[in-house]
Amino acid sequence: MTTPNRYVLEHALVVATLLVGVAGFWKLYVGPNAAPNGFHHLHVVANFAWLLLLLWQLRLVATRQFANHRKAGLCVLVAGPLLFASAALLSVHSAHKGVVSGEGDFLIVQNVMGTLQIGLMIGLAFVLRRRRALHGAFLLSTANSFMGVALFFTLISFVPALQLGGPDTFERLAIVGATGQGICLAIGLLFVIKDWRNGWPVLLAALYFPLNDGIRALLASRDLIDPLTEFVGALDPAATFAGSLLAYLAALGAFVGVPAMQSRTVVRQRA
């Protein structure tokens, strides 16, 4: 027995994020100045694998294949750390590129904070996995985070009035950022309206964007953007990827293992 109407909004968000993501990466791969590298390939694979995993899990829940859904959930133990590590690696690459070019990295705060926030949302999904609706909302919230980033690159790539360059670049960046944030906030509000008890993580993911803008403004007012960029750009890429992957894998393993161990202990005590 299926419940298609129940998950229309969830399916729509993931599919829309996939499509906007393709548009966002389009010029990077097929544009006139396309020059993707290994960092981009890894990041693209990790992001799209994660979104397809979310879509697969939604389908399993919608068709009430709960046993298969739980098995599919084990894939998150691999995909989650890979996603987190690839985001950390791309943050280092972007910062290093900005330092070497002397142009800086205007996405440094969003890259660093976005990585930490994605990690937080996936981690909370595991912590709260026994509350199924909230668990699913935290996982789904990552799609809204990806939507905001994908919208940014899609708008500056395909909307002529918003393409970067010239003396009004910062004004255009502000318009692009506000547009993307507005769309993500609207998506989050739709989920809250649908289920205010469990939909709020999707809205929370949208609120991270203005939060990161505020953090960037604070750091800029104290002349800390360049030091942050230099620090992140100086990190070793291989060590960053391996360290992030292993640390996050261990953290997720602890979230899964501790409750399971406690349950077994309770069963033994009752026996």
Query: What pLDDT score does 73 carry?
Result: 73
Which of these, 61, 203, 42, lies nearest to 121 by C-alpha position?
203
Asked, for residue 229, whether it belongs to a domain, the answer is: yes
The confidence score (pLDDT) of residue 142 equals: 96
Instruction: Tell me, yes or no, whether 190 lies in a domain.
Output: yes
Domain membership flag for residue 265 = no
Residue 264 lies in a domain: no
Alpha-helical (H) ranges within the chain are: 8-30, 38-62, 66-73, 76-101, 108-127, 132-158, 169-194, 200-221, 225-233, 237-270
**Number of structural domains found in the chain:** 1
In a domain, 270, yes or no: no
235: burial class by Cβ within 10 Å (0-12, 13-18, 19+)? Answer: middle
From its phi and psi, is residue 2 left (phi > 0), alpha (psi between -120 and 50) or beta? Answer: beta
- Tell me, yes or no, whether 259 lies in a domain: no
Number of neighbouring beta carbons within 10 Å of residue 151:
23
pLDDT tens series, the chain, 271 aa: 344 567 899 999 999 999 999 998 888 788 777 777 888 889 899 999 999 999 999 888 888 787 777 777 778 888 999 999 999 999 999 999 999 999 899 899 999 999 999 999 999 998 888 888 899 999 999 999 999 999 998 998 888 777 767 667 778 888 888 999 999 999 999 999 999 999 999 999 999 999 999 999 999 999 999 999 999 999 999 999 999 999 999 988 887 654 443 444 333 444 4
Contact 76, 178 (CB under 8 A): no
Structure pTM? 0.87
CB 60 within 8 A of CB 69: yes
Expressed as residue numbers, the domain containing 81 is: 4-249
First to last CA, the chain: 38
What span, in angstroms and rounded, lies between the C-alpha atoms of 190 and 199?
8
CA 26, CA 202: separation in Å to the nearest integer? 26
Q: Supply the pLDDT for residue 253.
A: 80
Closest CA to 109 of 218, 243, 234: 218
8 part of a folded domain: yes
Taking a C-beta distance cutoff of 8 angstroms, is the pair 151, 180 a contact? yes
Q: Is residue 113 part of a domain?
A: yes
